[in-house]
Structure 1
Amino acid sequence: MHTTTDFTFKGSTLELGSGSFRWSAPSNIALVKYWGKKENQIPANPSLSFTLNQCKTITQLDFDPKATKGAITFEFKFEGEPKPSFHPKIQQFFERILPYCNYITDFHFTIDTQNTFPHSSGIASSASGMAALAVNIMSLERLLQPEMEDNYFWEKASFLARLGSGSACRSLKGSIVVWGEHEQIKGSTPAYGVAFEDPVHPIFQNYQDTILLVDKGEKQVSSTVGHDLMHGHPFAAERFAQAPQNLSLLVEALKTGDMEAFIRITESEALTLHAMMMTSTPYFILMKPNTLEIINRIWRFRQGTSIPVCFTLDAGANVHVLYPENDKATVLQFIKNELVGYCQKEQYICDAIGNGAQNLTP
């Protein structure tokens, strides 16, 4: 386990020429949510997420040494085309990681990125995008420090990703990831995400997540603004105490295969997240009428069939339908028969639990 101080680049005597890396990193969906941040992207409570498999960002980083050093310079392309609207976010990321990666001013970067899921689909791409960029940067650092150990590589990659987007630190390594300090999770820290390494019940192997795209529009309130509204929130203290308790309960359910507990905690966490939004000042509602209709239909289907299907939500209107792989055929038929009509243009994405970032460098 490394600390923030350990992540400061110590320098290198190596001189690099031009080069390129290419990585993919997935999105993730939190089961125990974090809502509220302290300074420097530190979460106000621990969270636990499933890493996804199909919803990925693929990013190529080309680097060229500069004759004149000292400034951050880069070009950014989305699917091969310049995307100036992304520049401020990338600039902010580089400025935040500069104290830990001072070598980035020695190079000019060309960043070309694409998503495996539709752009503006309503699926948050900041987590997968920042994770993919961070692991590319760490590949460059490894060239400068060839003796780097694997655990340092992954921990610092998660640490850097967090500085770009908090939940991005959960998209690097592991199928189940915990971010934030928790007494039951070895090595857990608010600095970066750590893989949940305890054995989980076989029912959670290759767990399925079908994402129902209820609303693909831009959110009326950004996550950054939403997190800030937890400062002074009337229920913040209770929520920050509740989350680690729910994480303990969920960890036990993952180990034992207690589906009733898994469903109860997962759905309660999703609704609590939106309850925090609805009771902040100013208050806001990101769920849509179709979100509620889908939830009610999932409840009726579960009650009528005893199939352990449940839902979770991110900070938006889309619904993640979670269920074991052995119930896949029945649940997908239910989704096609009863739920796709509530999706925008009847769009949905079939995904499953994955393992994190992958090196695609030729």
Structure 2
Amino acid sequence: MTEKDFIPRTYDTFIEKGRVTYKSPSNIALVKYWGKKENQIPANPSISFTLDACATITTVIFSKMESEKDSFSFDLFFEGKPNEDFRPKIETFLDRIEVYLPFLKSYHLTIETSNSFPHSSGIASSASGMSALALCLMEMERKLNGQMTQAHFIAKASFLARLGSGSACRSIEGNLVQWGEHKGTQGSSDLFGIKYPYEVHPVFEKYHDTILLVDKGQKQVSSTVGHKLMHGHPFAENRFAQAHENLSALKGIFAKGDLDSFIKIVESEALTLHAMMMTSQPYFVLMKPNTLEIIQKIWTYREKSGTHVCFTLDAGANVHVLYPEKEKEEVYDFIQKELVLYCENQQHICDRIGYGAKKLN
């Protein structure tokens, strides 16, 4: 598919007003996407676990205006209160997607959004937030186009979400979603995420993710700035090649349920992400001392216990602790006794594998 496949020709239905609500989850990348080209195209493919508890609920109330405006007409509420801070990001998003949803300037939108997790907690709120908004707007288009297939709806929702936040394209479906062209994955695309199309062992279908909130402050480096660090980075091409190699290796690992090999790739990917930031110009160290303490504790415990607990990191100090369902009680007991004391106010979030966004009544 190309961008042109998402530009509608005509609409066969008229709607005056309506209301739609979606709940969309965050996700945690196993193979990291870091670096992008123009129009939110990833420099390398990625794959993620879709989460469940960490989610955004967004409602869009829409009403047809008497005439089309020159600019977008919308009100924005976050957690029940007007929020102007998010307005520029929404305006940029609407501007990017207007060619694909040409009805947008004909409606006034009231956008109401809230998260199930604390804002600035280090959870990827842009992924859940932009995917939820994209789904609501796609639901508007589905009302205008009664011939739309479900497959087209899902692909276009992911395509639009990507234009708001790259990782958001991986939050539409679950439980494993791949984004980015990869010669070893049939149907993979830089334009949208796809459900992982190959065999996945049952052990990966009920994974847990306990998120340790080491630092709840604002990001030291925004995602936009972080991705730009890869332009001219001396190790960028090798990093992009590594992501392709790791995705290829995961095909057999997922099929066999090879947890030891899974751990090696996931932890290596997390550390590589931070290594790229530490060796960029300018350079950043986003881990905190407690991040490293947690990692060392996980390594020691895994060796002693024989469990398959591991960690991954996003571009920040917080730690995602991953472990299979069959080891849930033992590992969570370890987390409570030995890891939460390294969290800010001992705060952590218990999450698990999820299966994508849901439309709410």
Instruction: Return the alpha-carbon distance in structure 2 between the equivalents of residues 208 and 214 of structure 1.
Output: 18
Equivalent AA in structure 1 for residue 273 of structure 2: L
The CA deviation at 1:197 is 2.7
Contact 2:175-2:205 at 8 Å conserved across structures: no
Structure 1 partner of 2:94? 94
Q: What CA deviation, in whole Å up to 9, does each residue of 1:257-310 have, x standing for no partner? A: 111110000000000000000000000011100000000000000000110000
Give the ranges of 4+ consecutive aligned residues of structure 1 lying more than 6 Å apart after TM superposition. none
Structure 2 partner of 1:348? 348
Structure 2 partner of 1:299? 299
Instruction: Return the alpha-carbon distance in structure 2 between the equivalents of residues 245 and 13 of structure 1.
Output: 46
The CA deviation at 1:121 is 1.4
Structure 1 partner of 2:107? 107
Match of 1:26, SS state, is strand
Structure 2 partner of 1:66? 65
Match of 1:68, SS state, is coil
Instruction: Return the alpha-carbon distance in structure 2 between the equivalents of residues 112 and 47 of structure 1.
Output: 30
Alpha-carbon RMSD across the aligned residues, in angstroms, is: 0.8
Contact 2:12-2:145 at 8 Å conserved across structures: no
Match of 1:198, SS state, is coil
Instruction: Return the alpha-carbon distance in structure 1 between the equivalents of residues 310 and 174 of structure 2.
Output: 22
Is 1:182 the equivalent of 2:152? no
Instruction: Return the alpha-carbon distance in structure 1 between the equivalents of residues 198 and 281 of structure 2.
Output: 40
Structure 1 partner of 2:20? 21
Unaligned segments of structure 1, at least 5 residues:
none
Match of 1:53, SS state, is strand
Structure 1 partner of 2:219? 219
Instruction: Return the alpha-carbon distance in structure 1 between the equivalents of residues 109 and 5 of structure 2.
Output: 25
The CA deviation at 1:10 is 1.3
Instruction: Return the alpha-carbon distance in structure 2 between the equivalents of residues 133 and 251 of structure 1.
Output: 32
Instruction: Map 1:3-42 onto structure 2 (within 5 A).
Output: 3-42=2-41
Match of 2:261, SS state, is helix
The CA deviation at 1:219 is 1.2
The CA deviation at 1:207 is 0.5
Instruction: Return the alpha-carbon distance in structure 1 between the equivalents of residues 49 and 90 of structure 2.
Output: 26
Structure 1 partner of 2:56? 57
Equivalent AA in structure 2 for residue 5 of structure 1: K
Equivalent AA in structure 2 for residue 35 of structure 1: W
Equivalent AA in structure 1 for residue 220 of structure 2: Q
TM-score (norm 2): 0.98
Q: What CA deviation, in whole Å up to 9, does each residue of 1:166-215 have, x standing for no partner? A: 00000001210000011222210000000013221111121010000000
Instruction: Return the alpha-carbon distance in structure 2 between the equivalents of residues 68 and 148 of structure 1.
Output: 26
Instruction: Return the alpha-carbon distance in structure 1 between the equivalents of residues 359 and 249 of structure 2.
Output: 34
Instruction: Return the alpha-carbon distance in structure 1 between the equivalents of residues 327 and 81 of structure 2.
Output: 41
Instruction: Return the alpha-carbon distance in structure 1 between the equivalents of residues 35 and 326 of structure 2.
Output: 36
Instruction: Return the alpha-carbon distance in structure 1 between the equivalents of residues 10 and 104 of structure 2.
Output: 12
Unaligned segments of structure 2, at least 5 residues:
none
Contact 2:13-2:146 at 8 Å conserved across structures: no
Q: Which moved more, 1:10-19 or 1:168-177?
A: 10-19
TM-score (norm 1): 0.98
The CA deviation at 1:123 is 1.2
Equivalent AA in structure 2 for residue 203 of structure 1: V
Contact 2:270-2:312 at 8 Å conserved across structures: yes
Structure 2 partner of 1:232? 232
Instruction: Return the alpha-carbon distance in structure 2 between the equivalents of residues 14 and 67 of structure 1.
Output: 17
Structure 1 partner of 2:77? 77
Is 1:194 the equivalent of 2:194? yes
Match of 1:300, SS state, is helix
Match of 1:102, SS state, is coil
Sequence identity of aligned pairs in percent? 59
Instruction: Return the alpha-carbon distance in structure 2 between the equivalents of residues 174 and 334 of structure 1.
Output: 28
Instruction: Return the alpha-carbon distance in structure 2 between the equivalents of residues 296 and 251 of structure 1.
Output: 28
Equivalent AA in structure 2 for residue 281 of structure 1: Q
Instruction: Map 1:269-280 onto structure 2 (within 5 A).
Output: 269-280=269-280
Match of 2:255, SS state, is helix
Structure 2 partner of 1:43? 42
> What is the count of residue pairs matched by the alignment?
360
Instruction: Return the alpha-carbon distance in structure 1 between the equivalents of residues 220 and 318 of structure 2.
Output: 14
